Amino acid sequence: MTQDRHRPSRLWIWATLIVVAAAIVPGLLWIKPWSSRPDAVFLIVVDTLRPDRLSCYGHTGHETPHIDRLAGMGVRFERAQSVASWTIPSMGSIMTSLYPTQLGLVEAPAPPDKRFKWRERRDQRAYSIPLAERTLAEIFQEEGFRTAAFVNQPGLIVGEGFSQGFTDWYYPDTPSSIRHRVPGISVEYKPWGPFLKMAAALDGKLVRELNGWLDRHADEKMFVWLHLLTPHRPYNPPAGYRTSPRRRSSIESYDGEVRYIDKLIGDVLASIETHVGPSRSLVVFTSDHGEAFGEHDMFEHGHTLHREVIHVPLILAADGLPSDRVVDSYVRTIDILPTILDIVGVGPGAPEDVRGSSILPIINGETADRPVFSEGMLYGSTERSLIANGHKLMYEEQDDRYALFDLSEDPDEERDVTELRTEPATDMREGLWEFYDDLALDYDSRRATAAEDSTIADEEARRALDALRSLGYIDD
């Protein structure tokens, strides 16, 4: 690459001022009206859910009344964006408010002269949150909340990275059964195929498991993560949610799964209202990423950062938040963690090193968009993108190629205006690389710190063993 990454860009200066202002202004603008803070937090993530298939986001082909009702109870964000194109890096960022590069949840460097096809799978640097990172669940656990996860996603189950901080962890053990995981016990990797085919049935079982758990723990402070998988391929809706007995298109089958998910969300909301009550509850509803159905000649996800994959629903509902409010500003999934902590008011708030910021000022009327940086690919060439100042820049590494889109005129990102808008293209290019280079440096620093901590821990363990040997408690 030949571009100069070190000259400060006008775009990046303004973006930095916006972020700084967002950190300063909340205490001045937002007067929190809660007489008592929510002490029951529900993070509901529906895997692979496009917002434009929900009627509250304008879809007219079918109704999603339960999700619509949730939107009517709270604040719906029209332009929420994921920071990654597939589940593991996206959920890692939601749970830590750090970008995938900082967590190592990005594709490994390509071998020299290797060219990837758009559906060719990439090796990854890592597949789970590093244990040294502090997660949202750990923060709540440290503050005395009971933490529980109900996760139907095979990629998030193996290892300890995503389960750290959870007192209870429920997951599909077989394609037909749910199991309660013992903390600290690793789960054997199993092929995804049978679980994906049974996603709808397993989602139903998890929701019923959640209802029973809420009945048992209703009086406790709680943080609950529910992750449902039904809209994920192979698009196999339950019989009562199919459009017709004839052969269906992928999008018709996907829509049937969206309607089924809406029914399950209705069940979850009923359980929360019955066992916990709306006055104690904060519900955050979102997705890890969207899904392509032929846009830009691609299908599914993990292979592009175009709108159909990174645009996600985001709804927040709690007593003390406005009801039936629609926010048009750009927000990011990395903003979820600091927003939750800001609303609940636990401890000192978000860790100092997080990259997201609370969106309460935006709910209160702040209109400035936040720069949206996205990355993290499962297939094909490495891509990175930046949304700022009404434009979106996409960079594709394999061909060293940029594309610029004017989102006000072209929200579907179909017309590359790089040659027509040379000044914003230059500013966006510099801003993108400043953003990425900063994250890459932070990753190196985190990795060095983790290695140093590991060395210290090994030395402390050696000294402890030497002391036990000297006392005669153990021998070689």
CB-side neighbour CA atoms (13 Å) of 256? 19
What average pLDDT does the structure give for the chain?
Answer: 88
Q: Would you state the pLDDT for residue 473?
A: 42
Select the CATH number that applies to the domain covering 10-374 from these four: 3.40.366.10, 3.40.50.970, 3.50.30.30, 3.40.720.10.
3.40.720.10
- pLDDT band of residue 162 (cuts 50, 70, 90) is very high
The DSSP bridge partners found for residue 40 are 222, 281
> What pLDDT score does 191 carry?
86
Under the banding of pLDDT at 50, 70 and 90, the label for residue 18 is very low
pLDDT at 338: 97
pLDDT of residue 326: 96
Please give the structure tokens belonging to residue 25: 């202004």
Residues 6+ away with beta carbon under 8 Å from 304: 85, 118, 292, 296, 298, 380, 383
DSSP state of 389: T
Is the predicted pLDDT of residue 82 greater than 90, yes or no? yes
Please check the confidence at residue 91 and state whether its pLDDT lies above 90. yes
Give residues with Cβ within 8 angstroms of 299, minimum separation 6. Answer: 250, 292, 293
Q: How far apart are CA 380 and CA 362, in angstroms?
A: 36
Whether residue 67 is predicted with pLDDT greater than 90 in this model: the reply is yes
**Which residues touch 275 (CB under 8 Å, ≥6 apart)?**
211, 214, 215, 218
Residue 157 is predicted with a pLDDT of: 86
Q: Which of 82, 124, 78, 72 is nearest to 103 (CA)?
A: 124
> What's the mean pLDDT in 447-462?
56
d(CA 25, CA 365): 11
- pLDDT cut 70: percent of the chain above it: 86
pLDDT tens-place string over residues 342-395: 999 987 788 899 999 999 999 998 887 899 999 999 999 999 999 999 999 999
pLDDT value for 29: 40
- The confidence score (pLDDT) of residue 170 equals 96
Is the pLDDT score of 250 beyond 50?
yes
DSSP class of 56? G
Question: Which pLDDT value is given to residue 471?
Answer: 45
Q: How many residues does the chain have?
A: 476
**Picking from 2-6, 451-455, 459-463, which range would have the lowest pLDDT averaged per residue?**
2-6
